[in-house]
């Protein structure tokens, strides 16, 4: 069941949609109004995602990944000031108001939240939440919407779909809740899915099942996917390309294989070195010293410099994004091309 909304709904002929990225983000910046001043949160974020492609936004908590996704969806807080350009299937949507952009959610952009218990309504049945979404976005009648909801639950691997539709979110296991979230995200045929750390609250076995399901949905429905995570192992297994963020900056862009095997930014290398090696004996992991600086306390120059063993006087100046091999890196002293393994 591929329910992609016709491209004419976005004002584009079908031929044009096939030749442009599903999502293009150019120099996206977001600040919060704070007592008359603007407090920068993320600065000059740029990336694109093609149809059927998965791109990861990677970094520690506090680096700006989720707020970037919220800005794309039109879900940033009311005191946020967003600049830059966002295009969906070639149409500029950054000129739309947040309210107008939220109308694209469901039909054109789907969102998979990190914690379904807070994203799904606790007092409405699963069926009510799914049929309301289908009726609102696709104009389906109640019976057709319920049939479609049952089909979707079966598609994401939920048995006894009709019984589940009568139940509530608290009656489901963590893995089942996340499958319901995925069913809701794909229900109206969006071309873009944003998944915000969708496996963080799950045990390892269920994580693998959810990732396999997302991969199947991406391939079958030809979805573009923005995958937000701090787990570089997931990036290497699941995503095509990766954008590494640190303190509101993009510090590295490359293919997922290059990010995992030959990271060029010291921060990316530090994230790789902190991953436990499966099947190998390692006496001690190598953590990155310090923590991500809070918003409003970013150092001048390179924001990673206070935690970087390679920092010197040059790092007092903010570096630009430059090509290093086939990667793009924001660093005065990029790591030499030596395999991270």
pLDDT at 231 over 90: no
Distances (CA, A) of 217 to 101, 181, 212, 214: 24, 13, 9, 5
Q: What integer is the mean pLDDT of 320-341?
A: 85
Residue 208: alpha-carbon gap to chain centroid: 18
| Predicted pLDDT at 281 | 56
Phi, psi of 195 (to 5 degrees): -115, 110
| Predicted pLDDT at 11 | 45
- The angle, 0 to 180 degrees and rounded to 10, between the axes of the packed helices 126-138 and 174-186 is 10
Rounded CA-CA distance 141/126 in Å is 17
Give the start-to-end residue ranges of the domains of the chain.
Answer: 246-329
List, as one string, the DSSP characters of 183-221. HHHHTT--SEEEEESTTTTS-HHHHHHHHHHHHHHHHHH
Give the model confidence (pLDDT) of 101-135 as tens digits.
878 888 899 999 888 888 899 999 999 999 999 99
Give the model confidence (pLDDT) of 154-190 as tens digits.
999 998 999 999 999 999 998 999 999 999 999 999 9
Task: Round the average pLDDT of the chain to a whole number and report it.
Answer: 88
The three-point CA angle 61-208-115 to 5° equals: 45
Residue 187: alpha-carbon gap to chain centroid: 18
Distances (CA, A) of 189 to 82, 162, 259: 27, 21, 31
Q: In this predicted structure, which of 10-19, 90-99, 171-180 has the lowest mean pLDDT?
A: 10-19
Whether the model clears a pTM of 0.75, i.e. scores above it, the answer is: yes
């Amino acid at each position: 069941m591929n329910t992609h909304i016709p491209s004419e709904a976005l004002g584009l002929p079908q031929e044009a949609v096939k030749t442009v990225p599903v999502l293009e983000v150019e120099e996206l910046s977001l600040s919060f109004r704070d007592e008359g001043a603007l407090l920068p949160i993320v600065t000059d974020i740029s990336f694109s995602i093609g149809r059927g492609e998965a791109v990861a936004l990677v970094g520690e908590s506090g680096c700006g990944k989720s707020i970037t996704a919220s800005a794309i969806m039109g879900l940033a807080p009311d005191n946020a000031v967003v600049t830059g350009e966002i295009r969906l299937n070639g149409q500029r949507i950054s000129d739309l108001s947040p309210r107008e952009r939220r109308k694209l959610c469901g039909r054109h952009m789907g969102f998979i939240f990190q914690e379904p218990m807070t994203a799904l309504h606790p007092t409405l049945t699963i069926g009510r939440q799914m049929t309301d979404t289908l009726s609102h976005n696709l104009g389906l009648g109640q019976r057709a919407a319920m049939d479609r909801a049952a089909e979707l639950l079966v598609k994401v691997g939920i048995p006894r779909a009709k019984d589940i539709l009568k139940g509530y979110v608290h009656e489901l296991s963590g893995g089942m809740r996340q499958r319901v979230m995925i069913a809701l995200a794909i229900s109206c045929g969006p071309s873009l899915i944003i998944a915000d750390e969708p496996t963080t609250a799950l045990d390892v076995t269920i994580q693998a099942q959810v990732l396999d399901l997302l991969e199947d949905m991406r391939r079958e429905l030809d979805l573009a996917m923005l995958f937000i995570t701090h787990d570089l192992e997931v990036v290497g297994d699941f995503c095509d390309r990766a954008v590494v963020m640190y303190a509101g900056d993009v510090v590295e862009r490359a293919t997922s294989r290059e990010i995992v095997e030959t990271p060029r930014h010291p921060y990316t290398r530090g994230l790789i070195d902190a991953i436990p090696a499966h099947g190998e004996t390692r006496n001690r992991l190598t953590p990155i010293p310090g923590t991500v600086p809070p918003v409003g306390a970013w150092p001048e120059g390179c924001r990673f410099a206070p935690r970087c063993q390679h920092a010197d006087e040059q790092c007092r100046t903010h570096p630009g994004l430059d090509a290093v091999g086939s990667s793009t890196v924001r660093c005065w002293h990029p790591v030499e091309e030596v395999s991270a393994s």
